[in-house]
Amino acid sequence: MNDGSRIKRQEARGIKKSSRLLNKETGAEFKNITTHSKEILIWNKKIECMKSKDMRALQSARLIELVNRVYDHVPFYRKKMNDLGVKPGDIQSIDDITKLPFTCKSDLRDNYPFNLFAVPMKEIVRIHASSGTTGKPTTVGYTKNDIENWREVVARCLTMAGIGKDDIMQISYGYGLFTGGMGVHYGAETVGCTVIPISGGNTRRQLQLMSDFNSTVLACTPSYALHLADALSENGYSLKDMKLKTGVFGAEPWTENMRHELEKKWGIQAFDIYGLSEIMGPGVANDCKCHAGLHVHEDHFFPEIVHPDTKESLPDGQEGELVFTTLTKEGIPLLRYNTRDLSTLNREPCLCGRTTVRMKKITGRSDDMLIIRGVNLFPSQIEHVLLEMGETSAHYMLYVDRENNLDTLELKVELDDSKLTDTIRDLQNLSRRIEHSLNSAIGLHVKVTLVQPKTIARSEGKAVRVVDNRKKE
């Protein structure tokens, strides 16, 4: 009897059993294995090197359990499935996943704050949130098991990057409602790192502690890592003062060229950690030392690629929108959540020995969402703030740029004729008020420039609201 069928049988007994089993599964296996003459550490060899057939069996069992659970406990999904004429009994294996409805970001917004939660609030032990498209954040909740699974997947990611007990990890992702800081933190403690939870910002202190505490790993957005590298010399440091050897970068798309630049500037190996709060946070996927795509933790997050227009499933190797089903999530389980990130899937076993499916590094999206310093931003959020204030026209253009490797935002907005006065102060106060409102709504600093009415190009059809001047590496 192989492992897969054992798991399948046990899982079929229900969620309580399956969550206990999960904890057993995660029983930190930290063994050296030798593959292709390279010594590579794998956190959970049983799962990460599982035969494809066994993985499908595990995924099938988990999907069946998940579908029954959301049908019973989430009215939104019961209605969606009923509308499509799908009953939980129609889902017999992972191959039936295409019968299930999609979920998109607006569904989370429409069900703000807790209507997609599948468990009573007393089971939820943590809330995270990200800014939403109309001023309301999208909210996610985690049960104890969710947090345990999150630890586990981040531990797998960090192990892929060769990080372990001997490492001192400086976590410069933001801590708080954003999933980045705490998500990586728990996984780093799990693999036994010494964690420095410094959070984002304060460049000088980042460098001082990196030097004084001998940090060996830096976890932050790739753009912040570049910014820190460029700030070394002006703060009186050189690479000789640092012990950094690994970078775990994510929360925004970045290219292979950016990886080479970061590796050169810091003298490190740079790894890409992928994730999104709707699915879990950081740790959904990560690249190993082969840097040949990101290993998806597909026992927890089942990936699909769909056509951006028709939403039909696409075969491996073809590019489309990346969709995830959270196979084990209890707090806010999602069926076929469309990330709108563009990627491809590759199921060939990796040279590192892992058999988990790999997704291509994300470099683009199928919608107009911008990622600014790791924060998701839709141009419509800007519009919403302007309309709500009602002090300018709603004609605006957002200019995104990168100065010293940090993203900058400038908003040009047309002055409303009736708001013009003969004093400078009134106009300066107006731009400051707009800056303040934007800052509280989207959590980003936006420089506001008032421009002459009717000078922002009107376009026929879909309005062009964003000029992204960040260099395409």
Partner 1 sequence: MTIRQLAVFLENKTGYLNQVLAVLAKYNINIIALTVADTSDFGILRAIVSDPEKALDVLREDGFSVRIQDVFSIEMDAAPGTMSRILDLFTAADICIEYVYAFSFGSKSILILRTDNTKKSVEVIIANNLKSISEADLK
Residue whose CB is less far from partner 1, 184 or 430 = 430
Nearest approach in angstroms of CB 372 to partner 1 is 21
Q: How many residues does the chain have?
A: 473
Residue whose CB is less far from partner 1, 114 or 399 = 399
Per-position x/- string for 430-459, each x denoting binding to partner 1 as judged by CB under 8 A, each - no binding: -x-----------------xxxxxxx----
Nearest approach in angstroms of CB 411 to partner 1 is 12
Contacts with 270 (C-beta within 8 Å, 6 or more apart), sequence order: 222, 225, 246, 247, 249, 259, 262, 263
Residue whose CB is less far from partner 1, 121 or 420 = 420
Q: From the list 106, 421, 439, 440, which residue makes contact with partner 1 (rule: CB under 8 A)? A: 421
Instruction: Single out the segment in contact with partner 1 by CB under 8 A; choices: 14-22, 295-303, 369-377, 427-435.
Output: 427-435
- At residue 440's C-alpha, the angle toward residues 434 and 444, to 5°, is 85
Q: Are 178 and 185 in contact, with CB atoms under 8 Å apart?
A: no
Nearest approach in angstroms of CB 457 to partner 1 is 13
With CB under 8 A as the rule, give the number of residues binding partner 1. 18
Residue whose CB is less far from partner 1, 42 or 415 = 415
Q: From the list 233, 428, 429, 439, which residue makes contact with partner 1 (rule: CB under 8 A)? A: 428
Residue whose CB is less far from partner 1, 160 or 409 = 409
Q: From the list 422, 457, 462, 472, which residue makes contact with partner 1 (rule: CB under 8 A)? A: 422
Does 427 bind partner 1 (CB under 8 A)? Our answer is: yes
Contacts with 48 (C-beta within 8 Å, 6 or more apart), sequence order: 42, 156, 295, 354, 355, 356
Residue whose CB is less far from partner 1, 13 or 432 = 432
Residue whose CB is less far from partner 1, 202 or 449 = 449
The amino acid sitting at 89 is G
Nearest approach in angstroms of CB 397 to partner 1 is 13
Residue list 378-417, contact with partner 1 (CB under 8 A): 415, 417
Neighbours of 432 (CB within 10 A): 11
Please report, for residues 163, 215, 220, 439, the alpha-carbon distance to residue 166 in angstroms, rounded to integers and kept in the order given: 8, 11, 20, 40
User: How far apart (Å, rounded) are the C-alpha atoms in residues 334 and 337?
Assistant: 6
Q: From the list 121, 387, 420, 464, which residue makes contact with partner 1 (rule: CB under 8 A)? A: 420
Nearest approach in angstroms of CB 447 to partner 1 is 9
Is the CA virtual torsion 21, 27, 31, 36 positive or negative? Answer: positive
Residue list 281-300, contact with partner 1 (CB under 8 A): none
Nearest approach in angstroms of CB 407 to partner 1 is 20
Q: Where are the alpha helices (DSSP H) in 252-361?
A: 256-266
Please report, for residues 130, 271, 311, the alpha-carbon distance to residue 248 in angstroms, rounded to integers and kept in the order given: 21, 5, 32
The amino acid sitting at 165 is K
Question: Kind of pairing, strands 31-35 and 38-42?
Answer: antiparallel
Q: From the list 34, 423, 460, 472, which residue makes contact with partner 1 (rule: CB under 8 A)? A: 423
Q: Cis bond leading into 113, ω under 30°?
A: yes
313: DSSP letter = B
Is the CA virtual torsion 239, 243, 248, 251 positive or negative? Answer: negative
Residue whose CB is less far from partner 1, 269 or 431 = 431
Longest dimension (CA), the chain: 84
Nearest approach in angstroms of CB 122 to partner 1 is 52
Residue whose CB is less far from partner 1, 257 or 452 = 452
Strand locations in 193-331, DSSP E?
Answer: 194-196, 217-220, 246-250, 269-276, 281-287, 294-296, 301-306, 320-326
Residue whose CB is less far from partner 1, 82 or 455 = 455
Nearest approach in angstroms of CB 394 to partner 1 is 16
Nearest approach in angstroms of CB 424 to partner 1 is 5
For residue 33, the surrounding DSSP H or E stretch is strand 31-35
Q: Give the residue carrying structure tokens 């260099």.
A: 471
User: How far apart (Å, rounded) are the C-alpha atoms in residues 202 and 120?
Assistant: 39
As given in the structure block, the two tokens for residue 142 are 């985690």
Residue whose CB is less far from partner 1, 207 or 415 = 415
Nearest approach in angstroms of CB 461 to partner 1 is 23
Nearest approach in angstroms of CB 286 to partner 1 is 43
Interface with partner 1 by CB under 8 A: which residues? 415, 417, 420-425, 427-428, 431, 449-455
